[in-house]
Amino acid sequence: MKFSIRKAVVGAFATTILFSGVEIANAQYTAKQGDTLFKIAKKYNMTLTDIIELNPHFENPNSIDIGDKVVVRSGDIATDLVDYARSLQDRTTYVYGGQENYNPPLYTDCSGWTQHIYYMFGINLPRTSAEQATVGTPVKFEDMKKGDLMFFSTREDKEITHVGIYMGNDYWISNLNTEDDVEILSTWGSWTQKHFLWAQRVL
């Protein structure tokens, strides 16, 4: 899908894409002196395998730097899932029809991106956005909860053309065919309001 969200709403997202206005989920740990992935995993009652799967960008689990961001499981799967999605912002490149379920960096499209994220949390989604829209329970805009899938259409016939993840607090995140690839957007932005169809709850 050719995603032209920036061109379609010139200037609108200057006020609706508020990266600094979205709090980092509490499932992201900042490494301190002496930390290793094993020590952090133990702190959060995780196995070393679990924490390595969530943080494949660390080549050596015994060597991490002070200040490194480590994704951990908080016990709230929706929070963990959204936090993992955020961690992919600098490790994703939009490629239409790209790879499926590979470790980051990811080269994939919107539905391949959501498929990878939910797969990391034990949920197997189909490959395309239209297929993913058949999984779970339909949810209206006003009833969305963190971790819900959001579906959109840019076509007159309302065929699904895009999918993203609701982050809570009126924001959603998605892998877009734009300069920045993964972006955080307001659910009240003009593009979102115009093209949103419905959400699906799969958690």
Q: Are 5 and 180 in contact (CB under 8 A)?
A: no
- pTM summary value: 0.71
Q: Are 35 and 64 in contact (CB under 8 A)?
A: yes
Domain limits, the chain: 5-27+74-201, 28-73
Distance CA 135, CA 116 (A): 15
pLDDT tops 90 at residue 5? no
pLDDT tops 80 at residue 181? yes
Q: How much helix, strand and coil, in percent to the nearest 5, is found in the chain?
A: 30, 20, 50
pLDDT tops 50 at residue 38? yes
pLDDT value, residue 110: 97
Specify the CATH architecture of the domain 28-73. Answer: Roll (3.10)
pLDDT tops 80 at residue 6? no
Q: Which tops the pLDDT comparison, 112 or 60? A: 112
Query: Which tokens is 51 given?
Result: 């924490």
Confidence of residue 180 (pLDDT cuts 50, 70, 90): confident
Helix, strand or coil, per DSSP, at residue 15: helix
Query: Which tokens is 112 given?
Result: 């391949």
Side chain identity, residue 59: E
pLDDT tops 50 at residue 7? no
CATH classification code of 5-27+74-201: 3.90.1720.10
Confidence of residue 44 (pLDDT cuts 50, 70, 90): confident
Helix axes 77-87, 110-119, angle to 10 degrees: 130
Q: Are 28 and 70 in contact (CB under 8 A)?
A: yes
pLDDT value, residue 16: 26
Distance CA 161, CA 190 (A): 17
pLDDT value, residue 60: 87
The per-residue pLDDT of the chain, averaged, comes to 84
pLDDT tops 70 at residue 1? no
pLDDT value, residue 101: 58
